[in-house]
Amino acid sequence: ASYACNVINKLPADNTVFKPNKDFDVKFWLMNVGTKKWNQGADLLFDSGANMLTANPRYELPKVDPGKMVGPFIFDAKTPKKAGTYTMTFKVHGGFCYPYIKIIVKK
């Protein structure tokens, strides 16, 4: 594909257990696995699911050549007050990259 990405690393790992109403960081490292460079200015931001963000709701991506990694992008978040499993999906403008986290909240 001309524009594509892989999530090289993310924190927290899927199914990490947190207590309710707990501050935590969301971190993504992305790699351009497409054939075209990503031009500077595309945003990485919340897309869908449980919006747990408390600050810095978007990052402007730098120019990223094919085969290069960029990150970490760090978002401040807080777990919901109610127990359950929550997924928060982000996207890079252009719709070619959808990093996500999935956490479990237990009392």
Strands of the chain (E only): list them: 5-11, 16-18, 23-32, 43-49, 58-60, 69-78, 84-92, 100-105
- What's the mean per-residue pLDDT of the chain? 96
- pLDDT digits 0-9 by tens, 68-87: 999 999 999 999 999 999 99
> Residue 67: is it exposed, middle or buried by C-beta count within 10 angstroms (0-12/13-18/19+)?
exposed
- What does the pLDDT profile of the chain (107 residues) look like in tens digits? 899 999 999 999 999 999 999 999 999 999 999 999 999 999 999 999 999 999 978 999 999 999 999 999 999 999 999 999 999 999 999 899 999 999 999 99
